[in-house]
Chains A and B, each alone.
Chain A
Amino acid sequence: MRRVALLLLFWLTPAFADEHLVSGLSQDTIEIRANYNGAEITVFGAVERPDTEKPNVIVVVRGQEQDMRVLRKERVAGIWINRSRVLLRAMPSYYFVAGNRPLDRIAARDVRSRYAFGLDAVKPHGLKADDQPEPFREALIARMQRDRLYVQQEDGVEFLSGTLFRVRVPVPSTAPRGTYVADVYLLRDGKVVDTKSSDLVIDQIGVERQLYDFSRSRPLLYGVATVLIAMLLGWASSLMFRRAE
């Protein structure tokens, strides 16, 4: 028993003695209000007890996973119609990755694919054998990049000193509500040696929240209310313009 404990201690000590990470977020919630137009959060941290060499850091922020359907149009009898479709399971609704240097120079190829470092490594789960998903996956990633929901910044992690770093993470207004995870990785010789994780919650508050809840909890009343307000405004405008004449 004592031997086991001793062994365990030997096995664990290097982790404490070696370089490791501390990190945090500038804010752990983003509140969506009436004039919300996206946000920017800062992930910051420090490398404790760094080796002599400059440390390498990769930051990944992910939204909740969702299934995405990608359709491809093909020409049939002169008309472009949706011909083939692929369901890409468990793709992140938001994905941000940044390193202090280009990712392929920080992390080995197998490490990049295991930890999903970089847009090339963001892959769907549970594909069937006969699926040919690659062009569909690329189309999805291109689309998400255009919508600024998938972002890759090769030099986004900025070292303020030998040990202190930060990265600015832009969150567009279209990023869905939910709990996001910000992971910070410390790498050495292409391998991950330490990681820290923090949660980020994006949620609506105030009138927006109440409207959203109302539309879900009492949909019939919500629909009738919308129609009544629309009719009322229509009536008011016809009255107002008659007076103006």
Chain B
Amino acid sequence: MEIYLPIAGMSVHWLTILGLGAAIGFLSGLLGVGGGFLLTPFLIFLGLPSPVAVATTASHITASSMSGALTQWRKRAIDLKMAAVMTLGGLAGTGSGVWLFGILRRAGQMDVVVSASYVVILGFIGTLMLRESLATLRATRAASAPLSTRTQHVWIHGWPLKARFPASRLYISVLPPLGIGFLVGALSAILGIGGGFMVVPAMIYLLRMPTNVVIGTSLVQIIIVAAATTILQAVNNHAVDAMLALFLVIGGVIGAQLGVRLSSRLSGEQLRLILAVIVLAVAVRLCFGLVVRPDEIYTVTVAP
């Protein structure tokens, strides 16, 4: 049965969006990412206007992150203190990101900047994660002894303003998480996404947090960013489609629960490997879109 989406102004089959929501929610629960970098392009592919796709994705991310985070919370797999510090940096970053967004858009070429930054960031993060997780998996298999990264210290840990993060078993400076939050917040505002796929690797490789805590902590931060984005989009652009959101969210929360279930059965290295492969696949696809002659050279939009 087709349902009519009042804000998007078109109809879509309800199973299509329920299934899409579930698939993205599954990844969200499994890997601790929001999945916005996958959902938005899919919705645009279905023919939804891109402002509606971007804005409504935020509400879906809010729901599936909430669902996943609550389950992680019961497993005591969240570092709330770390999440608070990073969110603080993140909100400041979002503010400057919105400002930068305006400058870039006035200069034109917004979508090229977005695609190119995606390719660079995703390619870099994906390659890093793939190499590391493969090496760890091989080492674990060879030595059949768990390799702990927890106690390793990185140079940035020694910065001033040290604080204890008991849930992550870390005693490090608050500046790196603040800075990461800020950078990711700024990039999120420009790219229109939650930023989980950048937060998760940063927590693992820069902050050296244990992988099991990373997913829940990242989800908490994403809830706040995505909720704020939804409200801002509703106020500024009137682009949040509640009907679309409802179906995406119902699919999303079910998918998220299944993802969380599976994530507790997989090892940290396996989870990192999956995320690395997805991130790299998206990077390659975007790179392709930039370099290969597009099917459609013309883009048609309704002028405001």
CA distance A87 to B291 in the complex (A): 26
Residue in contact with A80 in the complex, picked from B243, B253, B290, CB distance below 8 Å: B290
Majority secondary structure, B binding face: helix
**B60 engages A242 (CB within 8 Å):** no
Stretch at the interface among B6-14, B81-89, B198-206: B6-14
User: Is B63 a contact partner of A66 (Cβ separation < 8 A)?
Assistant: no
Judge whether A26 is part of the interface by a CB distance below 8 angstroms.
no
A75 at the B interface (CB under 8 A): yes
Given A231-B63, A234-B66, are A82 and B109 also a contact pair (CB < 8 Å)?
Answer: yes
Our count of residue pairs bridging A and B at CB distance below 8 angstroms stands at 188
Tell me the residues in window 40-77 of chain A with beta carbons closer than 8 Å to chain B beta carbons.
Answer: 66-75
If A67-B302, A212-B6, A234-B70 touch, whether A82 touches B108 (CB-CB below 8 Å) is yes
B299 at the interface (CB under 8 A from A): yes
Q: How far is the CA of A6 from the CA of B6 in the complex (A)?
A: 57
Kindly state whether residue B67 has any CB partner on chain A within 8 Å. Answer: yes
Q: Which of B133-141, B152-160, B168-176, B244-252 contacts A (4 or more CB under 8 A)?
A: B244-252
Would A140 and B4 count as touching, CB distance under 8 A? Answer: no
Q: Flag if A234 contacts B65 (CB, 8 Å).
A: yes
Give B70-119 interface residues, CB cut-off 8 Å to A.
70-71, 74, 108-109, 111-112, 116
Q: B299 and A82: CB pair below 8 A? A: yes
Interface pair A220/B243, CB less than 8 Å apart: no
A191 at the interface (CB under 8 A from B): no
A73 touches B1 (CB 8 A): no
Question: Among residues 228 to 245 in chain A, which have CB atoms less than 8 Å away from a CB atom of chain B?
Answer: 229-231, 233-238, 240-242
Which of A139, A143, A220, A233 is the one whose CB lies under 8 Å from B63?
Answer: A233
B231 CB–A CB distance under 8 Å:
yes
11 A-B interface contacts by CB (under 8 A): A34-B4, A37-B11, A68-B302, A139-B297, A176-B9, A212-B6, A223-B234, A238-B66, A238-B68, A241-B261, A242-B71
A residues near B (Cβ < 8 Å) are: 32-38, 66-75, 78-82, 87, 136, 139-140, 143-144, 147, 173-174, 176-177, 204, 208-209, 211-212, 215-216, 219-220, 222-227, 229-231, 233-238, 240-242
Q: 6 nearest interchain CB pairs?
A: A223-B234, A234-B66, A237-B253, A139-B298, A230-B63, A223-B231
